[in-house]
Amino acid sequence: MNLSKQQIRKIVYEFRNNLSYEDYHKKSSIIYNKIINSKWYLEADTIISYVSTNNEPDTYTLINKAFSDGKKVAVPKIINKEMEFYFINSLDELEKGYFGILEPVNINNKCVPENVCPLMLVPGVAFDLNNNRTGYGGGFYDKYLSRHTVHTIAICFKEQIFEQIPIDEYDIKMNKVITD
């Protein structure tokens, strides 16, 4: 059965909205452990990460771990419908921004992936067995990744993996997808 991006989004939103507190944290913990023990995390000096919202796999714990491991951390901010990443020193440096998602307050320290050894953690609604990604429909990550070369790891719950998802010419494939 071929599902549209809209149908896939509806299925995944319903799944995430119905996750129990316990299941959410258990699944996020499995993903967290896979990431922090991966060669990509261990070799990276910078973690470029989204700030989780709406029952996306937890990134707060990952971000705090990166800080405690002495890594630099950059998170996204939308300005004039363009996404850029800015370094932060603490999760306390975030405030609600675009679509109510936490964003950095200070935008004086922009992250240029080509100048650091980064690992980028990418959100998404759904992924397929070929590491294709369906995002939220704004194209922010696809546009950003078309301008920058960076190793991408998408993180999601296993229920967000489909055999095949519809893709278009602008969709950027992930280097790796990690699930629970």
pLDDT band at 117 (very low <50, low <70, confident <90, very high): confident
pLDDT band at 128 (very low <50, low <70, confident <90, very high): very high
Averaged confidence pLDDT in the chain = 96
pLDDT band at 114 (very low <50, low <70, confident <90, very high): confident
Residues 34 and 28: their CA atoms lie apart, in Å, by: 10
pLDDT at 1: 59
Residue numbers of the domain that contains 13:
5-178
pLDDT digits (tens, 9 = 90+) for 36-62: 999 999 999 999 999 999 999 999 999
CATH number of 170's domain: 3.40.50.10420
* Count of the separate structural domains present in the chain: 1
Side-by-side strand order, sheet with 118-122:
82-88, 72-79, 46-49, 118-122, 151-155, 176-178
DSSP-derived pairing of the beta strands 126-128 and 161-162? parallel
> CA torsion 17→91→93→148, rounded to 10°?
-80
Answer for the pair 35, 66: CB distance below 8 angstroms, yes or no.
no
Residues 179 and 49: their CA atoms lie apart, in Å, by: 16
Alpha helices in the chain, H assignment, sequence order: 5-17, 21-36, 39-43, 60-68, 140-147
